[in-house]
Amino acid sequence: QKEVEQDPGPLSVPEGAIVSLNCTYSNSAFQYFMWYRQYSRKGPELLMYTYSSGNKEDGRFTAQVDKSSKYISLFIRDSQPSDSATYLCAMRAYSGAGSYQLTFGKGTKLSVIP
């Protein structure tokens, strides 16, 4: 079992829909959770991050973490064509001796159709 699982999609939704993107993980040591957005032929950019279980909201985006279920989600409300991108989850764990492990999901490709 891979440490981080993310459905690659592709996911296609109509403009205005609510989008739910998800990742599951197996490593209980992950403590810091992030979502990156990557437009076609561009580098990933950090969208949201959170340390704790629960919800964190930023405009149309909500990041949700459930550590007991080892499950994280990104919700996009009122989706726009400009949200069309690949979304990568990422998780960080302390791996000892001052080192940190950052693990990325493989990404979910989202298309928002006007």
Partner 1 sequence: TAGITQAPTSQILAAGRSMTLRCTQDMRHNAMYWYRQDLGLGLRLIHYSNTAGTTGKGEVPDGYSVSRANTDDFPLTLASAVPSQTSVYFCASSVTRDTGELFFGEGSRLTVL
Binding residues vs partner 1 (CB under 8 A): 8, 32, 34, 41-46, 49, 88, 90-92, 94, 98-100, 102, 104-107
Token pair 């001052």 is found at 98
Q: Tokens for 7?
A: 């459905």
CA 74 to centroid of chain Cα atoms: 6
Residue closer to partner 1 (CB basis): 8 or 16: 8
Residue closer to partner 1 (CB basis): 17 or 84: 84
CA distance 1 to 41: 29
Q: How far is the CB of 112 from partner 1 (least distance, A)?
A: 22
Q: How far is the CB of 26 from partner 1 (least distance, A)?
A: 16
Q: Tokens for 88?
A: 């990568």
Residue closer to partner 1 (CB basis): 45 or 57: 45
Closest CA to 70 of 105, 18, 107: 105
CA distance 9 to 55: 24
Residue closer to partner 1 (CB basis): 85 or 107: 107
Q: How far is the CB of 17 from partner 1 (least distance, A)?
A: 26
